[in-house]
Each structure stands twice: as structure tokens, then as C-alpha cells.
Structure 1
Amino acid sequence: MVKHSRGNRTRSRKLLKKSPRERGAVPSLGRLMLDLKEGERVVIKINSSTHSGMPHRRYQGKVGTILGKRGKSYEVKVKLGDKEKILIVRPEHLNQIKA
């Protein structure tokens, strides 16, 4: 018997599924060129068609704060239980919260 793998995307069939209208769509340029400032609040919404800079599925739907920029990605501080985690996420996986 072979052990089944437990990779980053296991048990994520419903979580990372796109609606029929979104399927096959590549992130728009506006979404890729999103300019976020330090201290802004964002929601992590994983785009399953873009694998680079994708956070772990446990962070899907979490709200975080932008700490800074690292290359094309952003450093996002997210509270998970009692701890605060710093994630490095590409802008395709972030939604800006309008204040």
C-alpha cells in the first residue's frame, strides 16, 4: 500500500473552485498591478489558476494588513489563533478592503 500524499492543495476541492463565469480566466492587468500601501487591510482570496505566490489554503478568506513589498509580492500580517503570521503573497491573491 502506498501512503496518500498530503500536499498544500489536499482537501481543497470546494475551497479553490471557481464559479463557471470565472473559469479559465487569467487575472486582469488591474489586479496584477494592484498598488497597495503599507497599513492597508486586505482579504486573502486565492486564485487557483495562478500558482506563484499562492498562500496555503488555511489562509483563504483571512483578513490581513500590508507590512511592505518584497519584489512583486506583498508581506501580509495575518492573525491565526493566538499568533500573528507574516505571509508573502502575490497581488493576484489579495482583495483590497475599501474603508
Structure 2
Amino acid sequence: MSGRSKGLRSKSRKKLTKHPRQRGLTPVSRAVQDLTVGAEVSIILDPSVVKGQPHHRYHGRTGVIRERRGRAYVVEVRDGGAIKKIISRPEHLKVVEA
């Protein structure tokens, strides 16, 4: 018998499923949104877009945009005592209202 797969999307069934009324692709405006450096954003994974998706460990975390890298953004997130740099496309980022 083979062992259990420990791939990148393992243990994320609930996190990477959409509610029935939100199924399908998200609006294009979410992918085209222009975020400014220094803005505070939440990492909310969009399961319908796999490209540019950060690790599901950071789903729901809040961080600060440090730079733009191609179409993606570099977001600094606190993970315990360390500061991690997460590379994510704008489909998976949501601006935090102050």
C-alpha cells in the first residue's frame, strides 16, 4: 500500500473550496486591481485561480506590501517571531479598510 501524499495542497479541502453561490471565476477587476507599496492587505486565497497563489498556511494573514515583482506583489507577514516575504498575485490579496 502506498503512503499518503503530502503535496502542496494537502489538508486544505475546506480552505480551498468555494461556497456554492460563489463558484466560478472571480471578476476581472480583482485581478487588475492596482495596489500601492505600503498598503495593508489580507491574504485571502482564491481557489479558482491557482497561478500566483501563496501557501495555504498564510490564508487569512495580514501583511504589508513591500514591492511589486512582475504581476505579483511581495507581502511581508509576521509568522511567530519571524517576518516572512510572501509572493502573491493580486487575485489573492484584499486591501484592509482602516
TM-score by length of 1: 0.94
Query: Deviation at 1:15?
Result: 1.2
Partner in structure 2 of residue 3 of structure 1: 3
Partner in structure 2 of residue 52 of structure 1: 51
**CA distance in 1: counterparts of 2:84 and 2:28, whole angstroms:** 28
- Provide, for residues 70-93 of structure 1, a one-character-per-residue CA deviation record: whole Å limited to 9, x for no partner: 000000000011110001100000
Partner in structure 1 of residue 84 of structure 2: 85
Q: What are the equivalent positions in structure 2 for 1:3-82 lying under 5 Å apart?
A: 3-24=3-24, 26-82=25-81
Query: Deviation at 1:12?
Result: 0.8
Query: Deviation at 1:63?
Result: 0.1
**CA distance in 1: counterparts of 2:27 and 2:69, whole angstroms:** 21
Structure 1 stretches lacking a partner, 5+ long: none
Which residue identity lines up with residue 3 of structure 1 in the other structure? Answer: G
TM-score by length of 2: 0.95
Query: Deviation at 1:5?
Result: 0.9
**Which structure shows the higher helix fraction?**
2
Query: Deviation at 1:98?
Result: 1.8
Identity %: 43
**CA distance in 2: counterparts of 1:98 and 1:23, whole angstroms:** 25
Structure 2 stretches lacking a partner, 5+ long: none
Which residue identity lines up with residue 12 of structure 1 in the other structure? Answer: S
- Provide, for residues 41-74 of structure 1, a one-character-per-residue CA deviation record: whole Å limited to 9, x for no partner: 0000000111111011100000010001000000
**CA distance in 2: counterparts of 1:28 and 1:3, whole angstroms:** 39
SS at 1:21's partner residue?
Answer: helix
Which residue identity lines up with residue 28 of structure 2 in the other structure? Answer: L
SS at 1:31's partner residue?
Answer: helix
